[in-house]
Amino acid sequence: MLLERDLIQATGFRNVRDGDRVTGFQFRVRMPSYRGMPASLIDGIAVRVGDVVDVPAEIPLWTLSGNTYTLRELWASDGARWQLEEAATVTVPFEGGLPQGVHDVHVELKLRMSYIPIEHQPTVHRASRRITLAPEGGDGVFRYGVSLYSFMHDYGTVLDLETALAAVADTGATGVEILGEGHVPNYPEPTTVWIDQWFSLLEKYSLEPTNYGSWIDTRLRPGQAMTAQEGAVALQRDLTLANRLGFGFVRPKIGVVSSDLIPDPIWTESVERSLDLAHELGVVICPEIHSPTPIKHPVVDDYIGLIERTGTKNFGLLIDTGIFQDRPIPLREGETRETRPAFLDGIGVDPADFVDVAQYVVFVQAKFHDINENLEDQQIPWRPVLQALKDAGYNGYLSSEYEGERTPWRSIEQVRRQHSLIRTIASELA
């Protein structure tokens, strides 16, 4: 499993419990040297968290390869090692633990290098990082997941499948969604070895597959329209693969014919040709309602019309919370308000509109772009959004879909912030 570049890792920062009692907190640090080393060469790690905690190097406990040691036990150990590819877990005894939120964590790690003159020892590695404590409780009525789309650009470069799933689980989420063509090697025919690995990792991290993203590329060939039958074949290919991987929802991204995302007219027949297979597989097809399309729109009316006309239980709506964005996304380098799509300033759908379609909604992608260090979302008004969802009776998944700045590893911390924020709000809703 891959590690983050920072000495202090974002994943693994959490309170620890002994029964009902919170006895401290822990975090993970990677080996700062170019090699692994015997654990007896560790000279401790001093830890300071804001103005709340300040402990000397000999206090924290160390967990390496599943075994936990005091510093003196490390010095006396024979055979214990801190491997280069392994993050060590540091546990700080602190009755009551840390409060929820973003914390300034500072460490001073000391290692004893035998090949450096003793007068220059120990070697000291200092690091600081603002990281979000893993959320605890406060779930409210919702379930929580993460889309691996959140880690776009990180995935396949600084994150592999296991690292990504571990980051999802570390937020306390129970669900994971993927993009078929983004995360399945050798799509659409993954090897049995990969499928076995997929299910093994789901079990290891106690995750369930939720929503599978697919595409109906209606502009597949220049100057040649896709037929409804071809659209159905594309959709059914992904329904079948999604079912093999354990997913219950499939979001088809259907080619559009207008700036307000009206889907290609073949969508209706393509979906209807696929409903029997969806029923047989136990999968729900759920196109997303995505900005700049609001809830009150002919596209939504047409989707609901198909449900009511056919009586199907295998077609529903997916709401992307980007439709509730009410403040602009900051301009990127080279952009102006005139040269980018207007919907990036937010279309500001009233959360109260959700009740009109709630009975048809089967999944919610919790789209967001930036949450600051005070756990304030800069674009999405989460309190009225979550209140509207709860009041309308929605109790399904809120699946994080981060779409902000793509600096390496930033997505992990942003997803942690969102889960802390929305779970806190959910616990406070009337």
Contact call for residues 268 and 227 (beta carbons, < 8 A): no
pLDDT along the chain (430 residues), means of 10: 94 95 97 96 98 97 98 97 97 97 98 90 96 85 97 96 97 97 98 98 98 97 95 98 98 94 96 98 98 97 98 98 97 87 93 98 98 97 98 98 96 97 93
Task: Give the per-residue pLDDT at 112.
Answer: 95
Task: Give the per-residue pLDDT at 339.
Answer: 86
Structure tokens at 223: 């100057």
Spatial separation of the C-alpha atoms in residues 428 and 417, rounded to whole Å? 17
Task: Give the per-residue pLDDT at 138.
Answer: 66
Spatial separation of the C-alpha atoms in residues 412 and 168, rounded to whole Å? 8
Neighbours of 428 (CB within 10 A): 12
**336-339-344 Cα angle (round to 5):** 80
Active-site amino acid positions: 290
Q: What is the mean pLDDT of the chain?
A: 96
Closest CA to 187 of 251, 247, 234, 246: 234
Contact call for residues 354 and 389 (beta carbons, < 8 A): yes
